[in-house]
Each structure stands twice: as C-alpha cells, then as structure tokens.
Amino acid sequence: MIIDCHGHYTTAPKALEAWRKDQIANLDKPTAQRTKGSISISDDEIRESLEGAQLRMQRERGTDVTIFSPRASAMAHHIGDATTSQHWTEHCNELIHRVCNLYPKNFVGVCQLPQSAGVDVGSSIRELERCVNQFGFIGLNLNPDPSGGLWNSPPLTDRHWYPLYEKMVELDVPAMVHVSASCNPNFHTTGSHYLNADTTAFMQFLTSKLFTDFPTLRFIVPHGGGAVPYHWGRFRGIAQDMKLPPLEEWLLKNVYFDTCVYHQAGIDCLFKVIPVDNILFASEMVGAVRGIDPRTNHHYDDTKRYIDKIDWLTDADRTKVYEGNVKKVFPRFRLG
Ligand SMILES: [Zn+2]
C-alpha cells in the first residue's frame, strides 16, 4: 500500500469559500450574527471536486490513500478571533469527514485546529477530541504561528502548548507542523513562510527538552523539513556546541520528515541525510505547486517518481517510506 501522508482539500466546492467570505465580511459589521450556520454542499459536488483532481492523481501516480486535511493556506488563524476560527474550523473538518465517508479507501482524515493568536489551546483540544473520537481522524495540523507571519505566539516548546500535547499523547495522534497563509508581505506563503516554519519548528525542538517531557509525542515536519536536511551539519554542530546528544538520539524518535520536495536532487539529499525510518511519503497534491516541470515533463509534486529513482533504496526501505513509517507515526490509521 502507498500512503500519501500529506494532502489538502484544495479543490473543495465553492460554497465553502463563499461561506468564509461572508464570515470575513461580517467581521466589520458589529451587529452581524456570529453563528456557525450551515453550508449547503451535496455529495455529488464533493465527488465532482475530487474525481478529476486528487482521485485522478492517485490513480495516475499509483498511490492508494491520502491522509487528508483542510486546505492549509485557508486556515488563516490570523483572521478574526477565536470564534471566527472555531466556526470556520468546524466546517472545514466536517467537510473532510464527509470526504472520508464517501471515499473510505482513498482518504483518512486529519484536522485543522481552531487556533487564534493569544488564545489558549482549550478549544483546539476539544476540536481534536471531536475529530478523533467522532470522525475517526488520525492526526492534526498544528500551526506554530497563528498570527500568520508575525510570530508572536510562544515557541512550540513552551508550556502554552503542553495541554494539547498531553491530549495528543493520550489519543496517540501526531501533529504535522503546518503554518497557514502569511499576512506579512515579507513572507510568501508557500515559498518562504511554510519552509521557514518547518526549519523554525525543528530548531525549537532542538533547543528544548520537549521530548524529555513527552517521550512519545510525534511531529512531522513537512516539505522535506524545510532547510533542515540541507543544513544538517549546522544543526548537528549547534547541538554539539550545546553539549546535546547526537540528533538521531535527541530528536529522531519524535520528529519525522515528509517527502514534499519537488526535484530529484532535493529528494536525494533528504534520503542521504535523514534516516529512512524518519521519512514518510507525501506529495501535498493538489497544492503548493501545480505545474509540470518542463525538464521532466512530469508534475513537480509527483514525488513518488523521485523516490522510485533512488536506486540504492532497498525494497524494505521503500515499504517503510510508503507505508510502514506512516502507520508507525499514525497508529490510528485504518481504512474505512
Ligand atoms: Zn500542506
């Protein structure tokens, strides 16, 4: 089985976005009712939104199932307040649940959280519990910067987040570290904010005792780990200067990397540097980069092609990356 551990519902029916636009427009109207309301989307509209996109790509690329979450750039936790985020998040997660029910062999759910800068993690814990216990979701996307590029929340290693981590440990679910849209013009959302956040989260983990406090807590650092594999020597050297144990021992029982790297040399670097036990197959389709690379005539995000081309990987290694590691990191993984 080939499990893609990182896909978003970027093709959701237009009614979802229309609801969000109304919600945002109402933020400026003090008298507007702040209710969750409902969104009218038929099962056929959901089918239509997936058949020509994610499902077609699964078939064409030879992958079986995608661990599926709401569109990450649209989480936009910086918009409005905690109530804004709560209503929007519930709708997004409920739609993912419907997708997983319609296609139980193709999609397994992961939730977004109703985060909001400066707000404690209580509502995120409640939404995580709802999604895991009622919807059968198997993980969460955790935004380390709900301000959308201003970075004014405590680091992921701060006690601010600990109640959420306690719940993650109890439910045995991992978090993918995943920022959302950038409202800071210095940072392009997918080109720099995402990759910066991946690198930043890794460095926060490195300089903390988080995994001493939570030995079974698990994070996936997406997009191939940002700059981490490329600069592994720098991170090892910093850890050494700090008299920390080797990174394999210090972090790699808890931190995993996905394969959302969109060229062969980058994937080669990832696999040369990071132990194969810590790499999870992912493509993030349909997502950050949608085009076809004229040098290969294949989609940039068809990451399976790059992995299949690494000739020194053993069959056992490939099985780990495509299936075994994903099941290890997401122990609640089940096909419906
Ligand atoms: Zn993503």
Would you state the pLDDT for residue 288?
84
Instruction: Please answer whether residues 223 and 177 qualify as being in contact, where contact means their C-beta atoms are separated by less than 8 angstroms.
Output: no
Q: How high does pLDDT run on average in the chain?
A: 97
Residue pLDDT, tens place only, 70-123: 999 999 999 999 999 999 999 999 999 999 999 999 999 999 999 999 999 999
Q: Has 284 been annotated as catalytic?
A: yes
Residue with tokens 């996109």: 53
Indicate which residue of 94, 127, 284, 323 is catalytic.
Answer: 284
Cα 175 to averaged position of ligand 1 atoms, centre (Å):
12
The predicted structure's pLDDT at residue 30: 82
Residue 24: exposure state from Cβ atoms within 10 A (0-12, 13-18, ≥19): middle
Strands 107-109 and 255-258 come out as unpaired
Look at residue 32 in the predicted model and tell me its pLDDT: 82
Question: What average pLDDT score do residues 53-58 get?
Answer: 97
- Among 24-33, 83-92, 267-276, the minimum mean pLDDT is found in 24-33
Q: What percentage of the chain carries pLDDT values higher than 90?
A: 97
Distance from Cα 7 to the centre of ligand 1, integer Å: 6
SS (H, E, C) the chain: CCEEEEEEECCCCHHHHHHHHHHHHHCCCCCCCCCCCCCCCCHHHHHHHHHCCHHHHHHHHCCCEEEEEECCCCCCCCCCCHHHHHHHHHHHHHHHHHHHHHCCCCEEECECCCCCCCCCCHHHHHHHHHHHHHCCCCCEEECCCCCCCCCCCCCCCCHHHHHHHHHHHHHCCCEEECCCCCCCCCCCHHHHHHHHHHHHHHHHHHCCCHHHHCCCCCEEECHHHCCCCCCHHHHHHHHHHCCCCCHHHHCCCCEEEECCCCCHHHHHHHHHHCCHHHEECCCCCCCCCCCEECCCCEECCCHHHHHHCCCCCCHHHHHHHHHHHHHHHCCCCCCC
Residue-level pLDDT at 104: 98
Label residue 24 by pLDDT band (50, 70, 90).
very high
Other C-beta atoms closer than 10 Å to the C-beta of 66 total: 29
**For residue 129, what pLDDT is reported?**
98
Tell me the CA–centroid distance for residue 281 and ligand 1, in Å.
13
pTM for the structure as a whole: 0.97
Residue 273: is its pLDDT beyond 80? yes
pLDDT in tens, 150-185: 999 999 999 999 999 999 999 999 999 999 999 999
Domain edges within the chain: 3-26+38-329
CB burial class (10 A; 0-12, 13-18, 19+) of residue 311? exposed
Predicted confidence (pLDDT) per residue in 202-245, tens digit: 999 999 999 999 999 999 999 999 999 999 999 999 999 999 99
Q: How far is the CA of 220 from the centre of ligand 1 (A)?
A: 11
User: What are the tens digits of pLDDT across the range 189-198?
Assistant: 999 999 999 9
- CA 190 to centroid of ligand 1, rounded, Å: 9
Find the 242 Cα to ligand 1 centroid distance in Å: 32
pLDDT at 336 over 80: no
Please tell me the distance between residue 243's alpha carbon and the centre of ligand 1 in angstroms.
Answer: 34
Topology of the domain covering 3-26+38-329? TIM Barrel (3.20.20)
Convert the pLDDT of each residue in 238-271 to its tens digit: 999 999 999 999 999 999 999 999 999 999 999 9
Instruction: Tell me which of 32-41, 50-59, 121-130, 194-203 is least confident.
Output: 32-41
Query: Using CA atoms, how far apart are residues 207 and 173, in angstroms rounded to an integer?
Result: 23
